[in-house]
């Protein structure tokens, strides 16, 4: 597939297929089930919009009593990080004394997750961990290490399976690299 980005024709190359994602999601869920056990409630906090597909697929593989919360933060314009992060929706009010697992689409500079983790400190959650579908270690500007990572990738901009380019392409069932045609 080819798409136009700001007047430039780009190739969309599949990096992780639907099956790759499905298998990896199952593996991560197995690890989460092992780590948390199946008794205590886990609050899965899905960061919108990027982690919506990954979060929805991951929770289906969890075995503990699970609550789903969402939060929306904004940090990105086009294909580069904007430098400022904002909460677009308020923090969920129900995290006190609960184990919270934040689900992110990608840790790029780490600015967004660093910001969100700071905000979450005031919720009095019992524990807070991070599960990110993707990690771009070469792009980190903050010392952030997600507890669970789907795939580690290079600095390239990717789209699909929740990840967008100016709001579009989140619906692709695979994760794709964009390269100049």
The contact set with ligand IMP (CB under 6 A) reads 50, 75-76, 81, 104-112, 157-159, 163-164
Residues of the shown chain interacting with Mg ion in the complex, contacts defined by CB under 5 A: 50, 76, 164
Candidates 20, 57, 105, 108; catalytic one: 108
Strand partners, 177: 13, 158
Element (H, E) at 9: strand 8-16
Please give the Cα distance from 25 to 160 (Å, whole number).
15
Of ligand IMP, Mg ion, none, which one sits near residue 108, judging by CB under 5 to 8 A according to partner kind? ligand IMP
Q: How far is the CB of 125 from ligand IMP (least distance, A)?
A: 20
Q: How far is the CB of 32 from ligand IMP (least distance, A)?
A: 20
Mark whether 108 is an active-site residue. yes
> Phi/psi of residue 108, each to 5°?
-100, -95
How far is Cα 59 from Cα 26, in angstroms, rounded to an integer?
10
Nearer to Mg ion, 18 or 164 (CB): 164
Residue 107 contact, options ligand IMP, Mg ion, none, Cβ 5-8 Å cut-off depending on partner type: ligand IMP
Separation between Cα atoms, residue 24 and residue 20, nearest integer Å: 6
Q: Which residues are catalytic?
A: 108
């Amino acid at each position: 597939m080819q798409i136009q980005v700001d007047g430039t024709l780009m190739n969309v190359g599949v990096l992780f297929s639907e099956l790759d994602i499905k298998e990896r999601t199952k593996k991560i869920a197995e690890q989460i089930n092992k780590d948390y056990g199946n008794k205590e409630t886990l609050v899965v906090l899905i960061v919108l919009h990027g982690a919506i597909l990954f979060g929805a697929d991951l929770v289906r593989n969890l075995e503990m009593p699970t609550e789903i919360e969402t939060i929306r933060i904004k940090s990105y314009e086009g294909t580069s990080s904007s430098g400022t992060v904002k909460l677009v929706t308020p923090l969920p009010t129900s995290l006190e004394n609960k184990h919270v697992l934040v689900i992110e689409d990608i840790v790029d500079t780490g600015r967004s997750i660093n910001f969100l983790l700071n905000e979450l400190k005031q919720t009095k959650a019992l524990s807070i961990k991070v599960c990110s579908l993707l990690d771009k270690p070469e792009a980190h500007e903050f010392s952030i290490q997600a507890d669970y990572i789907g795939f580690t990738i290079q600095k390239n901009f990717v789209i699909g399976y929740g990840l967008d380019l100016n709001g579009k392409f989140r619906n692709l069932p695979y994760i794709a690299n964009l390269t100049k045609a």
